[in-house]
Copies of this chain bind each other. A is one copy, B any other.
């Protein structure tokens, strides 16, 4: 009762299935939900580029704007590509669906595995980064960072268990606040440049060259910046959450999102270039930029706070994406069916709970510091992009609708570009963790196949084709007794009601008690024979199973019933004061074919 009340307070009252249509999102809150992951990457994407370029010295730093523009173009390609996907798959077209439909089951499952892992990593990484932003501002919280991470994940989980529309309301304010902060930062930066002019260029030898300036270094910088694109998948997978017309609304949201992302990312990257910002371990690029533009005033602290909040909320995107993908895969029988159940608030609760559990586990295991996991999840995302866009090329080719060559060309461009990105990240980051993806993905895919095979053989084994129902009729019923009391007499009445063939058995643990039982038996149950089983080793389970197995040999019927009289104590702790023999016997009988174990409850009042 207490747990049930707690659940109602946390997640709200249940919603009817008929209310499902109303749990759809207008574009404004939808943007807030699906944007946080993508937008939060503005906080670190520019930094990821500069951190690689700085290894090549002052000269290499000059390439930042070009790389920024390349990633902006990549964002446009990916967004356009997904816009096509959303219209081609109005019921939800994530990489899993698109790859499975067009490329076959195996590529679909690879995309699914990559995405499931990515969703988990997004939650862990975003939460850890967001909490790190907070603990950097308030160092006294640093020792409690793991607890703060776990509490944060818990709060996001509860928000999501309440249901997606309310989640939208909760998250809309900080997301738009962060977008406003970015607009302020970029606008303020350009105003500062126009009024004060750019600071003088540094001496070309100011930064030492630690690595030669090769095309490989540029590609690594580019792949670091690609982290900006994680999160695009969420809209395509969540088309169903939008108000009708779903495809149109989802498509428009996606384009808005990509435009805001590209603008703010390019703004930050260009400003960082013009202000000659050099990345440092102690301070983020966004923080340095905000400090240069606004000084250490309230505007600076507001931007820092918004950055911390958006990173925490980025984790929320996965709570929309993961359960939906798990639902789609569960419908196909590749993950346990429970993921297809809608909870009483119309959300896929099991997916939400598992996602929160696994990501909390990662946070605890990695001590709230998951910086090493960041490259991992970029690989997975781009792997899924590549598979999905390759699938779309085949889709257009098969359909050959109007203007199919231009559609196919857009997706082919996307597939090629993201494929190159996968190769670049994979090669440059292999020893830094990309090998984990190589191990986990095949294991997951094997698991998906095993689960699917189980459901298939299950259906075959349960099929009614050529099945003859068992003849039960006058089947033997055995009542296990340890004494004679109200519970036993009730159980005997029940046994006699369900079959004329009733035997009572008792295990002789104490000869005195057994002979007293036999005497009282004649008085209370003269019509039921009482068989006394020897138990030299004082076990109850052993002799009972032996008797059941002997009976099995003697007869040819299919089924046999074993009745266990059980009294139900009035209070939970009273269970501790009784042997749990009945439970043990039921457990053992479960693995014997054709044995039905019945507890006949007798309820105690006090």
Chain A residues near B (Cβ < 8 Å): 14-18, 336-338, 341-344, 451, 454-455, 457-458, 461-464, 467, 469-473, 475, 484-487, 489-490, 492-494, 496-499, 524, 536-539, 559, 567-569, 574, 576-579, 590-591, 593, 595-606
| A142 to B182 alpha-carbon distance, docked (Å) | 56
Known: A472-B497, A595-B601. A567 touches B337 (CB 8 A): no
| A368 to B599 alpha-carbon distance, docked (Å) | 45
**Shortest CB–CB separation between residue A598 and chain B, in angstroms?**
5
B residues in contact with A577, CB < 8 Å: 336-337, 451, 454-455
Q: Is the CB of A458 within 8 A of B498?
A: no
B residues in contact with A493, CB < 8 Å: 469-472
Contact of A16 among B454, B494, B537 (CB under 8 A): B537
Q: Is the CB of B601 within 8 A of A458?
A: no
**Shortest CB–CB separation between residue A73 and chain B, in angstroms?**
45
B residues in contact with A595, CB < 8 Å: 601
Q: Is the CB of A344 within 8 A of B538?
A: yes
| A344 to B539 alpha-carbon distance, docked (Å) | 7
Q: Is the CB of A567 within 8 A of B469?
A: no
Q: Is the CB of B467 within 8 A of A567?
A: no
Q: Is the CB of A489 within 8 A of B461?
A: no
Task: Determine the residue in chain B with the shortest Cβ distance to A455.
Answer: B577
Number of chain copies forming the complex: 2
Q: Is the CB of A464 within 8 A of B451?
A: no
Q: Is the CB of A579 within 8 A of B461?
A: no
Known: A493-B469, A578-B337. A604 touches B537 (CB 8 A): no
Top 4 closest A-B pairs, CB basis? A462-B485, A472-B497, A498-B498, A14-B537
Contact of A462 among B15, B472, B473, B567 (CB under 8 A): B567
B residues in contact with A598, CB < 8 Å: 596, 598
**Shortest CB–CB separation between residue A224 and chain B, in angstroms?**
39
B residues in contact with A590, CB < 8 Å: 568, 601
Most B Cβ at <10 Å: residue of A15, A342, A464: A464
B residues in contact with A569, CB < 8 Å: 454, 458
**Shortest CB–CB separation between residue A263 and chain B, in angstroms?**
42
| A216 to B17 alpha-carbon distance, docked (Å) | 79
**Shortest CB–CB separation between residue A47 and chain B, in angstroms?**
41
**Shortest CB–CB separation between residue A339 and chain B, in angstroms?**
11
B residues in contact with A486, CB < 8 Å: 461-464, 467
B residues in contact with A473, CB < 8 Å: 497
**Shortest CB–CB separation between residue A515 and chain B, in angstroms?**
16
Known: A457-B606, A537-B344. A579 touches B338 (CB 8 A): yes
Task: List 27 A–B pairs whose Cβ atoms lie within 8 Å, in order of A's numbering.
Answer: A14-B536, A17-B538, A18-B536, A336-B578, A342-B538, A344-B538, A454-B574, A454-B577, A455-B577, A461-B486, A461-B567, A461-B606, A462-B486, A462-B567, A462-B602, A462-B604, A463-B485, A463-B486, A464-B484, A464-B489, A471-B493, A472-B494, A472-B496, A472-B497, A494-B559, A590-B601, A598-B598
Q: Is the CB of A579 within 8 A of B341?
A: yes
| A457 to B577 alpha-carbon distance, docked (Å) | 13
B residues in contact with A18, CB < 8 Å: 536
Q: Is the CB of A579 within 8 A of B337?
A: yes
Task: Determine the residue in chain B with the shortest Cβ distance to A16.
Answer: B536
Known: A454-B574, A454-B577, A485-B464. A568 touches B591 (CB 8 A): yes
Q: Is the CB of A605 within 8 A of B336?
A: no
B residues in contact with A467, CB < 8 Å: 486, 489
Known: A536-B18, A537-B15, A537-B16. A462 touches B487 (CB 8 A): yes
B residues in contact with A457, CB < 8 Å: 604, 606
B residues in contact with A485, CB < 8 Å: 462-464
Kindly list 20 other residue pairs between chains A and B, CB separation below 8 angstroms, not including A341-B538, A455-B577. A14-B536, A17-B538, A337-B579, A342-B538, A454-B569, A461-B567, A461-B604, A461-B605, A462-B485, A462-B487, A462-B604, A463-B486, A464-B489, A469-B493, A470-B494, A471-B493, A472-B496, A568-B590, A595-B601, A596-B599
